[in-house]
A and B are shown apart, each in its own frame.
Chain A
Amino acid sequence: MKTRNECREWRELLGAYALGHLEGDERAGLEAHLEGCPGCREELAALAPVARMLPHADPARFELAPTPPPELGRRIAATIEGEKQRSEQRRRRRIFGGFAFGGAAAAAVAAVLLLFVFDGSSPDPGQPVRFTDLPEGISISAKLEPHAYGTEIHMYVHGVPSGTLCRVWLRGPHGASYPAGTFRYRWGDDSDAVLSSALDISRTREVVVDTGKRTFVAPVNPPGATATTGQEEAT
């Protein structure tokens, strides 16, 4: 009959045993105890998988606990808000499109409504960015909008293979890159991707789009500057 204390003494050796650190009499004694103690065997079985996981970790990283920058949450919220507004806009387009097919009178009403909703109440304040010298069949354009958190980017991409992952970032005055996010180009989808970056629009010098095989760069002109030509970056 084992006492509770006896078990506890052996149990406290189970960690060193599971790590292969126990030797000599202590090891032999513990193994003899394990033979006759299902409770301690069960405890060892619970520790063994944890001990097997240890070699996978890099102790140099125990002290490193990277934390996301505070603006990341705001950027995500802004991106989702932008997407929500766009899907709402598309939904309204579908509704009004349905009207238009309903008959001539309905079409006239829809036309008036469309004019009101999209021309009247949705002015387009974005600063256009031109990508020029693009390969044949590919068109890329962007519009930038200033926000307190940074810059909202509306990206239009056409002509790359459907499903292409596009990565976008802005470059500041000294070439520092600020990620704006990723999106997938889908064939037949004529919507724009709404992204955001922490870089203020006034400090934005270039918009960069990486489509995997190619990277395209377009200059962003500060107010009053003359237009320069966008180019394809050598990759």
Chain B
Amino acid sequence: MIQLGTSTRGALSRERDVREAYAAHSGELYGFAVRSLGDSGLAEEAVQETFVRAWRAGDRFDPKIGSLRTWLFAILRNVVIDLGRARSVRPGVAEGGIEPSVEPLDEALLAWQVEEAMRRLGDDHRRVLVETYYRGRPYAEVAEELGVPEGTVKSRVYYGLRALRVVLEEMGYED
């Protein structure tokens, strides 16, 4: 779990804390907002609204209950729902070239988590998972392409999955 340095209740009530929280989490929040809204302008709006709401409700944040990251994601989730409603009332507002996600929001959150974790993996691990799992290529073929024994591809798949689990746990994922 990623925790902010401050550990007292109301950790977001000061602007300095908002700046720290922004530095630590804005990238992830924005990434998920783009993933679920499919529009960079709306995603900016969603992240802005998230931090403003977090600041307003800063006194209610209690790190004993959950991490700041989890709390911010919960606020963003509500903001995305609000924006999604507004957009469904008035279609055609979205701009930009990114395809919007059509999945339900929790599915989009799960998808984004795995995609973000994949981005944080080392190249070797990500590569074997992409080739063998997502592209469904035979291990022998991938091994030949990489110039390593087939057993090495298998062991990289194993260590890749382990690393993925560690990254997901760092991101707050629990079984």
Contact = CB atoms under 8 A, between A and B. Distances in A.
A19 B156 CA distance: 13
A83 interface: yes
Given A56-B107, A62-B115, A179 B44 contact: yes
A53 B47 CA distance: 26
A154 B102 CA distance: 34
Contact of A61 (B23, B35, B43): B35
B51 A80 contact: yes
Interface stretch (A7-15, A112-120, A143-151, A222-230): A7-15
B67 interface: no
Interface in B35-73: 35, 40-45, 47-49, 51-52, 55-56
Interface in A152-194: 165, 167, 169, 177-179, 181-182
Interface residues of A, number: 50
Interface string A208-235: 0010110100000000000000000001
A53 B48 contact: no
B30 A68 contact: yes
A235 B90 contact: yes
B165 A50 contact: yes
A95 B138 CA distance: 75
A16 interface: yes
Interface string B116-132: 00110000001001101
Contacts of B85: 165, 212
Given A53-B114, A73-B26, A68 B47 contact: yes
B148 interface: no
Contact of A50 (B48, B119, B132, B168): B168
Interface string B128-146: 0110111100010000000
Interface in A73-117: 73, 75-77, 79-81, 83-84
21 contacts: A14-B158, A15-B159, A15-B162, A16-B158, A19-B157, A21-B139, A50-B168, A53-B114, A54-B114, A57-B115, A58-B115, A62-B130, A66-B40, A67-B30, A68-B30, A73-B19, A76-B22, A182-B79, A210-B90, A212-B85, A212-B89
Interface of B: 15, 18-19, 22-23, 26-27, 30-31, 34-35, 40-45, 47-49, 51-52, 55-56, 79, 82-83, 85-86, 89-90, 93, 95, 98, 107, 110-111, 113-115, 118-119, 126, 129-130, 132-135, 139, 151, 154-162, 164-165, 168, 175
